[in-house]
Amino acid sequence: DGLTGLYNKKFFLDALVPAVASSVRHGTPLSLLMLDIDHFKRINDTFGHPAGDTVLREVSQVLTRIVRAEDVLARYGGEEFALLLRETDQERAEACAERCRGAVETQLFDPSSLRIRVTLSAGVASLPDRELLDVDALLGASDRELYEAKRLGRNRVCSRARSAALA
């Protein structure tokens, strides 16, 4: 991605397809996090697009410091990021999502001395899961959890396992 220096959506999806196939075939853990900057339109509308671009770059740097070298972090679109965690079960993925959320929440983003506070919402889905057998199902599950985090007030992590336990 030209703005953030992260992988782009196409690269991410190209990496996700074989990772999911391998996880399903071998029953190994794999997790997908969808992360979205809360109220990003408000940042652009209030402070301008250059400030929004700076926030995107700096959030990308914060996330990059958290993830492992073997993880695949990408700008999925707009203010949304995707994170592929190989060999990572649901519990560890939720912990990673909380680290990402907490690190962004505590960071003060300072484009042109504006001192902007930012929060993230995250959705987590993990394999193995008998209902998630392909890339589309995994993406759909993590995306639904992201929207649940937004619906519940933002600045939180929601996961498929937690949602299933509450149902």
Residues identified as active-site = 79
Where do the DSSP E strands lie in 5-144? 30-37, 72-77, 80-86, 108-109, 116-117, 120-127
Tell me the residue type at 135: V
User: 128: helix, coil or strand?
Assistant: coil
CA distances from 29 to 26, 80, 84, 96, 123 (A): 9, 23, 11, 14, 17
- The single residue listed with the structure tokens 């992590």 is 157
Cβ contacts of residue 155 below 8 Å, gap of 6+?
38, 101, 105, 119, 120, 121
**In angstroms, how far is the first alpha carbon of the chain from the final one?**
38
